[in-house]
Amino acid sequence: MGDQGLVSPGVRAGCHSWNVGARSWEIMSRLEAFTLVGQPHGQPIRKVHVCGEAVSDFQGFIESALRSATRVIRVLAKAQDNTWSPGG
């Protein structure tokens, strides 16, 4: 169960990992932007974005959450015709 000294009493430590054989790159790509309800005309508007350590390519570290967030920000910037970018 890991080092119980790192968490509060009654709280258990955990870790995320992809299932063996999961094509994580494909799953991450789908989670970057998707729609829950299809649009009746034309392309659906992809307004649901999932990011975080659990759905990243470097699970178990804070860097993974940042990498995942960066992927979503790039999708958002592309959707805005590159009129907005992080940091400027």
Instruction: Give residue 23's pLDDT.
Output: 92
Give φ, ψ of 48 to 5 degrees.
-105, 125
> In 10 A of CB 79, how many CB atoms?
15
- Average of per-residue pLDDT across 4-15: 67
Indicate the pLDDT class of residue 86, thresholds 50, 70 and 90: low
